[in-house]
Amino acid sequence: PLERSSEDVDIIFTRLKEVKAFEKFHPNLLHQICLCGYYENLEKGITLFRQGDIGTNWYAVLAGSLDVKVSETSSH
């Protein structure tokens, strides 16, 4: 993010505002996400969250796939 040019931010902003999850975000907030967000390459099989964890991050899958497993016996 520190080396991101204003052109990079504009490209990211244009792409993100087309994503349904971001469509209601205020442009200023979306711009901040463009400035602070970063790419992360993750190895196959890694666990990002466990059921019941408090969320502190938000991920967008740009390539590949993921599995979501939900236990019906959880009280969460």
Mean pLDDT for 28-54 is: 91
Q: 6-16 and 27-36 helices cross at what angle (nearest 10)?
A: 120
Mean pLDDT for 20-46 is: 91
Answer yes or no: is pLDDT of 27 > 60. Answer: yes
Q: Do 21 and 59 contact (CB within 8 A), yes or no?
A: no
Under the banding of pLDDT at 50, 70 and 90, the label for residue 61 is confident
Q: What is the pLDDT of residue 74?
A: 54
pTM for the full predicted model: 0.62
Answer yes or no: is pLDDT of 75 > 80. Answer: no
Mean pLDDT for 10-32 is: 92
**In the chain, domain spans:** 6-36
Closest CA to 58 of 24, 25, 33: 33
For 9-70, give the DSSP string: HHHHHHHHTTSGGGTTS-HHHHHHHHHH-------TT-----TTPPP-------SS------
